[in-house]
Chain A
Amino acid sequence: MTVQTPVSLEERKDKLQGLGCSRKRVEDARFTQGKGHYVDDIKLPGMLFGDFVRSPIGHGRIKSINKEAALAVPGVKAVLTADDLRPLGLHWMPTLAGDVQAVLADEKVLFQNQEVAFVVAEDRYAAADAVELVEVDYEELPPLVDPHRSMDPDAPILREDIKDKTEGAHGPRRHPNHIFTWEVGDKAATEQALAAAAVVVEEQITYQRVHPCPLETCGCVASMDKINGKLTIWGTFQAPHAVRTVASLITNIPEHNIRIISPDIGGGFGNKVGVYPGYICSAVASIVLGVPVKWIEDRMENLSTTAFARDYHMTGRIAATPEGRITGLWCHVLADHGAFDACADPTKFPAGFFNICTGSYDVPVAYVSVDGVYTNKAPGGVAYRCSFRVTEASYFIERMIDVLARKLDRDPAEIRMINFIRKEQFPYQSALGWEYDSGDYHTALAKALKSVDYDGLRARQKASREAFKRGETRKLMGVGVAFFTEIVGAGPVKNCDILGLGMFDSCEIRIHPTGSAIARLGTISQGQGHATTFAQILASEIGIPAADITLEEGDTDTAPYGLGTYGSRSTPVAGAATAMAGRKIRAKAQMIAAYLLEVHEGDLEWEVDRFQVKGNPERFKTMKELAFAAYNQAIPGLEPGLEAVSYYDPPNMTYPFGAYLCVVQIDVDTGVTEIERFYALDDCGTRINPMIIEGQVHGGLTEALAIAMGQEISYDADGNVHGGSLMDFFLPTAVETPAWETDWTETPSPHHPIGAKGVGESPNVGGVSAFSNAVNDAFAHLGLTHTQMPHDHWRVWQTAQRLGVTG
């Protein structure tokens, strides 16, 4: 008889590395050794390279295009223009927002760097040389840069293709440069609340145009196999299945003959959700030439043409009682969408989930209207590390709350505490139509305030202001308080779709006979660590160690259909599908265990990695044993095998939240802002991998720092884009990045199978407000209510100068 050392329950649990374990990222072995496999690493025999001729001007008419000199460059195979794409009906393409976008400029150019012609050559060098030699003759037209002028009666008409359309994808259009008006809430009741209020504050808040700027730019390799008629496209796609369906619909190639593969992706942050001219041109070139065609953006192309974010010009009004209780919220947004409406939002939400702008507060009535307009700028309007327009909404309300606090001369933390939705109000119905699933805001903010010794900070600030007055320092201290509620995990198919594709997600699991597994999902990691965390969800559900579970995503020929990764939807939706598929596996395993142990299914209970007989835990079958039996033992009434698929349509969104505090020191003479301290408390519901959460928070806060303190894509009066290179577009290095302090509370989502809410985007959403509130707070005693981002040196200095504190 062999004596087995009994393995404790804890040891068995630890071996799984399931929920709550800070398991090391399985992806990092390849990434840290330079062994990742990105789209530009793909090399196929005979592959050609595409490169764009781009518009040097912001608005103009194309009088002629002469390709001859370009075609004469050795190695050049083709030069495509709109006229070449027209016979295929591919010179325009549908956008995700119900508009159309020129694939190659058709008669007009509408923004600087717009795609005008596509050169295909044997190598990148020949393509770049030929690009210089395509002669395009333009007639310049007056550029329209200021969105506030878009609907002026005498504004130049940008979109001549739709100038007579009075009905757009989202309702009536009032002007040829008007895209839509979107209204939510009770206008009359809100106006009444404002009229009746003892206190009303109003502010103009602009969230500047920025860009997600992933380290890897966008690109693809398209390969048409003329023998079997199959088109394969490897690309930087955040939603490979959606790309396949859209590609099929616009090219008429049957969907089974299109294969989309997202290899390793070097960051997306929303930039890689859209469909870009480079993809269409590469596919057409491959179809026409019969060989693979690669297209890779350079940094300037990425920053100046593919999907910007934000550019929201918001006017807000809050009605409140003298004690600071909010009685109403009113907001109007002028949304600059650029030359085509290529926002990536669920179809019914042309301004995304901007109507989450009542934030974390119990606002009785609210009204929001958004006007989308065209300008001579690059299209986009994607969610840069946030769920659709949630960062804009959060920034708006968090600045407005501070403005209210200022007006009432109250502490901003206190005004938040007074207005928070209370714990017992969840599930909470917001005035603008959302049902918040769970939250405990008072506890979170109280913990944050205590952790940073908030009262101590305010006392120090007071002393430092007095020292400033006495001329002992030239620095102003600011304390930024921000609280955010996100709305992520789009979403319920009943109201969330993109181009008609329902926003469910999926997971398919196969257990191998020896008790390891492979799981495939409809999402695609761009650095989030899906292969690590989703295996952990499964490990806890099915009792197989995470290390024995392979996770695959991104190949539409093998992965189940799903809508991809953005808007923090992977854990709320695909993560739920993973848990549900795991539960199906477990249910079948239970039947097998019942047969093997000769008991009724109801007599079994699950414990970590096994089914055991209730009251008799010595009699058990581990998942490993059950897997083997599933394949190799004839079990009456059961099919062999152990597999499951789940398509999960979430019943609701999830609502992560958090409390962030930022302390800054501003040198009024130089405009330099030093981040003295940043504390971030996140509540993302059930925590799957605390180390990955911390990593996501660090990354998102760094982006928030970049946005608040420096990022901007701007246009001059002539329509020239500025900030289109990393010399000017602020990407912080380790030197500019402060040390982050992270903390947490845990309020599970009541409707998610494991209670998880998603965390990847929270730090960007909450961080921007915290930085900006801190900068504004530094000047608050001088009468400042709001100053526009980015808070770069010169703007901060101008603010100081305006307030009379510069030397």
Chain B
Amino acid sequence: MIPGSFDYHRPRTLEEAVSLLASLGEESRVVAGGHSLIPMMKLRMALPEHLVDLQDVAELKGIRIDGSQITIGAMTTQAEMIASAELARLCPILRETALQIADPQIRSLGTVGGNVANGDPGNDLPGLMQALDARYLLRGPGGERELPARAFYEGPFTTALDPGEVLAAVRIAAPAAGHGWAYEKQKRKIGDYATAAAAVLLELEGGTCRKASIALTNVGDTPLLAEAAGRALVGTAVDAAAVKAAAEAAKAIAAPAEDGRGPRAFRVHLTDVMVTRAVEKARSRAS
């Protein structure tokens, strides 16, 4: 449980960070809150030669709201996201989800950027970002680009992030006022990743669902956007039959691994239960 040796760098600006990464080459990694990377280094599953610590890069911190556009700096901690009253008002599912990440100690160091850039299918925010159709602002040696979260995750711990690129911020268009939301997660205990979890956002108009998106956490190699499940709700009154259809559709794409959280069949079944409960809760919150 002791990491291999590495050099430590602490840039003060994003530009400096990006040029450090470019000059240090492939064996360099950025470290944010360290709560995914350092455990992996202790297990020697990650052996970076250079760590570029982003904690002094002020421009990566903070939450900015511009009308319905939300921008969360990558180095904003999960705890800061939870504490933001404005986020809780505009997009309450962020807070509901973040409160189910790990435990308070971890959330006070773990960052939003680290959570979404990590690429671990167990992380909760990537699934949520699928449902929210968030966009990631990436900064590399060649400049800035924006990528939809839905195109970011390629496999376990592999993402569309190019070598030398830093994730600078997460951008979210706030869902319409009166929307319903829920993040339902089952875990074995505090500090555990999901056995199965589901994020649901929906909008009702005169009792009929006009928009819905559903995404799943930790039941596949990547976070899963359950498109068919969302479609199953649109145009319905989100009645029992529609909920069932959505849950079935979500279940159909779940492909969890068997691990200490249970065999595959259980986690597939639980996907159904989490989606059912999240949809019902979201509907009850929508106006």
Contacts and interface: CB of A to CB of B under 8 A. Distances in A.
Interface of A: 124-125, 128-129, 132, 298-300, 669-672, 710, 722-723, 727-728, 730, 732-733, 735-736, 792-794, 797-798, 806-807
Interface string B181-197: 00000101111100100
B238 to A, nearest CB: 18
Given A727-B192, A793-B266, A794-B261, 18 more contacts: A125-B2, A129-B4, A132-B44, A670-B186, A670-B270, A672-B186, A710-B189, A727-B260, A732-B189, A733-B103, A733-B189, A735-B189, A735-B190, A793-B195, A794-B263, A797-B262, A797-B266, A797-B270
Nearest to B39: A727
Contacts of B192: 727
Contacts of B263: 794
Given A298-B1, A728-B260, A793 B186 contact: yes
A733 B266 contact: no
Given A132-B44, A710-B188, A727-B192, A794 B266 contact: yes
Contacts of B186: 670, 672, 793
Give the 4 A-B CB pairs with smallest separation, nearest first: A794-B262, A128-B2, A298-B1, A728-B260
Contact of B273 (A300, A669, A710, A736): A669
Contacts of B44: 132
Contacts of A730: 188-189
24 contacts: A124-B2, A125-B5, A129-B4, A129-B5, A132-B44, A300-B1, A722-B260, A727-B192, A727-B260, A728-B260, A730-B188, A733-B103, A733-B189, A733-B190, A736-B190, A792-B262, A793-B186, A793-B188, A793-B261, A793-B262, A797-B266, A797-B269, A797-B270, A798-B266
Nearest to A672: B186
Contacts of A128: 2
Contact of A792 (B5, B188, B191): B188
Contacts of B259: 728
B197 to A, nearest CB: 12
Interface in B186-210: 186, 188-192, 195
B191 A733 contact: yes
A655 to B, nearest CB: 35
B266 A736 contact: no
B108 to A, nearest CB: 16
B286 to A, nearest CB: 23
Instruction: For chain B, give the interface size range.
Output: 20 to 34
A708 to B, nearest CB: 14
Contacts of A727: 192, 260
B269 A806 contact: yes
Interface string B253-287: 00000011111001001100100000000000000
Contacts of A792: 188, 262
B260 A723 contact: yes
A670 B273 CA distance: 7
A176 to B, nearest CB: 33
Contacts of B273: 669-670, 807
A730 B260 CA distance: 10
A125, A129, A300, A727: most-surrounded residue (chain B CB, <10 A): A727
A797 B5 CA distance: 45
Contacts of A723: 260
A672 B184 CA distance: 14
Interface in B101-152: 103
A374 B270 CA distance: 38
B192 to A, nearest CB: 7
A794 B266 CA distance: 6
A500 to B, nearest CB: 38
Contacts of B195: 793-794
B4 to A, nearest CB: 7
B107 to A, nearest CB: 14
Nearest to A123: B2
A295 to B, nearest CB: 14
Nearest to B266: A794
B4, B189, B191, B270: most-surrounded residue (chain A CB, <10 A): B189
Nearest to A299: B1
A53 B261 CA distance: 30
A64 B144 CA distance: 53
Contacts of A298: 1
Contacts of A728: 259-260
B4, B191, B259, B273: most-surrounded residue (chain A CB, <10 A): B273
A129 B44 CA distance: 10
Contacts of A794: 195, 261-263, 266
A798 B4 CA distance: 42
A730 B189 CA distance: 8
B269 A736 contact: no
A707 to B, nearest CB: 14
A678 B189 CA distance: 19
A19 B171 CA distance: 66
Contact of A736 (B2, B189, B260, B262): B189
Contacts of A669: 273
Contacts of B4: 129, 132
Contacts of A670: 186, 270, 273
A793 B270 CA distance: 10
A129 B2 CA distance: 8
A640 B262 CA distance: 70
A728 B1 CA distance: 16
Contacts of B270: 670, 797
A735 B261 CA distance: 18
Contacts of B191: 733
A125 B44 CA distance: 12
Interface string B157-175: 0000000000000000000
A512 to B, nearest CB: 46
A128 B44 CA distance: 10
A806 B191 CA distance: 27
A78 to B, nearest CB: 18
Nearest to A797: B266
A788 to B, nearest CB: 14
Contacts of A671: 266
A300 B1 CA distance: 8
A240 to B, nearest CB: 27
A736 B2 CA distance: 30
A793 B266 CA distance: 9
A730 B259 CA distance: 14
Interface string B85-110: 00000000000000000010000000
Nearest to B195: A793
Contacts of A736: 189-190
Contacts of A129: 4-5
Contacts of A300: 1
A280 B51 CA distance: 38
Interface in B1-46: 1-2, 4-5, 44
A558 to B, nearest CB: 35
A614 B2 CA distance: 70
A37 to B, nearest CB: 23
A349 B191 CA distance: 41
Nearest to A712: B260
Interface in B32-86: 44
A727 B262 CA distance: 14
B1, B191, B261: most-surrounded residue (chain A CB, <10 A): B1
B103 to A, nearest CB: 7
A798 B262 CA distance: 10
A299 B259 CA distance: 20
Nearest to A792: B188
B132 to A, nearest CB: 25
Contacts of B1: 298-300
A735 B195 CA distance: 18
Nearest to A297: B1
A298 B5 CA distance: 19
B36 to A, nearest CB: 12
A485 B198 CA distance: 47
B220 to A, nearest CB: 18
Contacts of B269: 797, 806
